[in-house]
Amino acid sequence: MSVESKSAMVTGASKGIGRDIALALARDGFDIVLGFGRDRAAAQAVAEEIAALGRKTVLVAGDVASPEVVTNLFSAAQSTFGRLDTVVINAGIMRMAPITRASLADFDAMMSVNARSAFLMMAAAGEQLRSGGSIIALSSSVIAKSMPGYGPYIASKLAVEGLVKVMANELRGRDITVNAVAPGPTATELFLHGKSQQQIDALAQAAPLERLGLPQDISAVVAFLAGGQGRWINAQTIRVNGGFA
């Protein structure tokens, strides 16, 4: 169901799943606060696609693990659109290594970008979202598999899922839903980076549907949660993975 005159914030929105989420929400009538890291050209291209759908965008660059950047995102939403209805916490990084060989630098980086940013974004969203709003954080289905090589990444995403459940309870009585969406193997730059074709093929066969997920498989679920039909889903982690886990 489409909506009118609402706005959504999507972090990590210049590429991959975040890009598809921003476009899906724009098609449903949301204006978009488009958060991105370094690739302004890619973010601008997404903004142009959103404009072609008849919706407005405002671009905000920076590391969402920074309190200042998070403040800039929420200030941009209020100053540009005057309201904020949905916050999608999508920005994330993944660096694979066995726990015995993983560097502390990589562990800290994933905890910062994946978990710290979710904490900051949820705290700000809890202050600014209006009744009927939603917070949707991206987790990962690899949590359910405990797959070797994903230890620090899984730790960071488990933190996100814990924050989701607590935040849903802390927002009791305000009619704001808080959920996590946990993709399985999905054909994005983030997922494919560093993997051999043999590894990719094996992961594609891991789900009963025998393919990798596509960004639009994930964005469809996020758009459902952000719309009026998803209001009775709260404090949940929804695995979107074709049966992978």
Both tokens of 120, joined, read: 């900051």
Both tokens of 162, joined, read: 């814990």
Mark whether 150 is an active-site residue. no
| Rg of the Cα atoms in the chain | 17
SS3 95: coil
State the Cα–Cα distance between residues 164 and 155, nearest whole angstrom.
15
SS3 33: strand
CA 71 from chain centre, in angstroms, equals: 18
DSSP structural state of residue 32: E
CA 159 from chain centre, in angstroms, equals: 14
Beta partners for residue 32, in sequence order: 8, 57
Residue among 107, 153, 191, 244 flagged as catalytic: 153
Other CB atoms within 10 Å distance of the CB of residue 76: 18
Q: At what angle do helices 67-81 and 117-128 cross, to 10 degrees?
A: 30
Catalytic annotation, residues? 153
